[in-house]
Amino acid sequence: MLTLYHAPKSRSSRIVTLLMALDAMSEVDIRLTDIPRQDGSGARDPNNPHPEGKVPLLVTEDGEMIRESNAIMLYLTDRFPSDLAPAVGARGRGAYLSWLFWYGNVLEPAYVHQIAGLSHPALTATFRGMSEAVAYLVSGLQKREFLMGERFSAADLLIASPFLWFPEATPDVPVIRDWVARCGAEPVIAQSEAYDAMAAQDMRLARA
C-alpha cells in the first residue's frame, strides 16, 4: 500500500482531493501529520520521513519517497489512469506535464514573491511575475472550461488550489474567477474539505 503523509488544510490536502477524484483512497494509508504552521501552531512530526519535515510526502510500497505536490500528482495519475490526466503518448500529455511543472516552477514562486513583496531583476528574469503568470493562465483558458479542455483535470486541481484556499488572492480577471468557481464546484473539493475537517478534529482530540 502507498503511504501519504498528510496535514489537514495544507498543500497535502490537494493530494487527498486527487485520491478521492481517482477513487483511490483505499489504495493509500493516510498518516495524519503535524507541521509547523505560519501562525505559530503545530510542530515538526518526528514520524514524518520527509527530509524537511514537510507534507505532502508519498511513500511507495518499496519505500521510495516522492516529494513535491506536482511529482506526487503525476505519479498518482499515471498509477491510477482516469479522465483526470492523459496517459503517456495520449493527446494532451505535453500540455498536462507543462501545466503541472509550470505550477511548481513558475506560478508558486511568482505568487510567493508577490505575497512577500519581493522584486529583483534576477527573480523577474527567472520566474517573470504574477502579471505574466495571469496572462498565461488566461491564454490557457481561452474557449475552454478547464485547462485540459472540457473536463476538470489534475492540472486544474493543482493550479486552482491556492485560489481555493485564499479566494482573495484570485486574480481579478473574470476568466480566472469563473474557472476557479468551476473547480471549486467539483464535488471532490467539498468531500476533501469535509475529510480535512474530520482529520483536524481527530488530531486535536489525540493531542488533548
Ligand X SMILES: N[C@@H](CCC(=O)N[C@@H](CS)C(=O)NCC(=O)O)C(=O)O
CA distance 2 to 93: 24
Among 56, 86, 140, 171, binds ligand X (CB under 6 A): 56
- Give yes or no for residue 68 binding ligand X (CB under 6 A): yes
Q: Interface with ligand X by CB under 6 A: which range of 54-62, 109-117, 166-174, 175-183? A: 54-62
Among 55, 147, 148, 154, binds ligand X (CB under 6 A): 55
DSSP at 128: -
Can you tell me whether residue 170 is helix, strand or coil?
coil
- Give yes or no for residue 10 binding ligand X (CB under 6 A): yes
Q: Interface with ligand X by CB under 6 A: which range of 52-60, 132-140, 173-181, 182-190? A: 52-60
CA distance 189 to 17: 6
CA distance 129 to 58: 30
CA distance 10 to 50: 15
Smallest gap from Cβ 162 to ligand X, in A, equals 10
Smallest gap from Cβ 137 to ligand X, in A, equals 18
Task: Give rounded-to-5 percent helix, strand, coil for the chain.
Answer: 55, 10, 35
Is residue 133 a contact partner of residue 125, using CB atoms and an 8 Å limit?
A: no
Q: Give the nearer residue to ligand X in terms of CB position, either 173 or 203.
A: 203
Smallest gap from Cβ 54 to ligand X, in A, equals 3
**Count of residues engaged in binding ligand X, rule: CB under 6 A:** 10
Q: Interface with ligand X by CB under 6 A: which range of 51-59, 77-85, 124-132, 186-194? A: 51-59
Is residue 183 a contact partner of residue 156, using CB atoms and an 8 Å limit?
A: yes
Q: Interface with ligand X by CB under 6 A: which range of 53-61, 84-92, 144-152, 180-188? A: 53-61
Around Cβ 193, how many Cβ atoms within 10 Å? 17
Q: What is the CA radius of gyration of the chain?
A: 17
Among 22, 34, 69, 171, binds ligand X (CB under 6 A): 69
Q: Which residues are near ligand X by CB under 6 A?
A: 10-11, 35-36, 53-56, 68-69
